[in-house]
Amino acid sequence: DQQVKQNSPSLSVQEGRISILNCDYTNSMFDYFLWYKKYPAEGPTFLISISSIKDKNEDGRFTVFLNKSAKHLSLHIVPSQPGDSAVYFCAASARDGNQFYFGTGTSLTVIP
Amino acid sequence: DAGVIQSPRHEVTEMGQEVTLRCKPISGHNSLFWYRQTMMRGLELLIYFNNNVPIDDSGMPEDRFSAKMPNASFSTLKIQPSEPRDSAVYFCASSLYQPQHFGDGTRLSIL
């Protein structure tokens, strides 16, 4: 059973607009969350993370929001650029964990 | 700095053959992970090692799959005998704390 879910397989956004990618989790023990970005024929690369003691973390154009009560996190990309077109994976782990649980990914296309 | 190195990048073989995937983690990293990516399940953790010791292999689908880490700089994932449903992209990742750093994967096709 998927403990981390990304319910939107794909998303298209115009260049310059905001991209919002969503992720839901079921395990209340999860307390550390990451987003990875993956280009075709490459491995996932780390993008941004957040721990459960925060509800927001920002890094340049990328912001991750965490809503613990809803067991939901989202990644905002503003402004979106064509180079952001990739598959984005959400991942979560528990406090003592080395083990991460990944979602199925959302394919983002930024249209010039 | 060299990242995680996986070989081969592509493997095409016939059902029933033995397949060996290789991984060289980043020097100094003490944890190594093997994942399988499929459309239906995304990135699934198969097994992970800490200081060369297997910690959790509950994700290994069947006895046909085995993994070893004989030293800190090398790991293998073996499938014997291979089946068409094993076709997927297999990733290796390593870490010292977080985050995990991934290799570029091995695309495996079993005919």
Residues of B in contact with A57 (CB under 8 A): none
Tokens of A60: 């340049």
Using a pLDDT cut of 70, give the percent of chain B over it: 99
Cβ count within 10 A of residue A65: 17
Nearest CA in chain A to B44: A102
Q: What is the pLDDT of residue B41?
A: 82
Q: Is the pLDDT of residue A97 over 70?
A: no
Q: Is the pLDDT of residue B1 over 70?
A: no
| A46 Cβ neighbours under 8 A, 6+ residues apart | A34, A36, B99, B100, B101
Residues of B in contact with A105 (CB under 8 A): 42-43
- Tell me the mean pLDDT in the region A35-63: 96
Q: How confident is the model at residue A80 (pLDDT cuts 50, 70, 90)?
A: very high
Tokens of A112: 């010039």
Tell me whether residues A102 and B4 touch, CB distance under 8 A: no
Residues of B in contact with A6 (CB under 8 A): 42
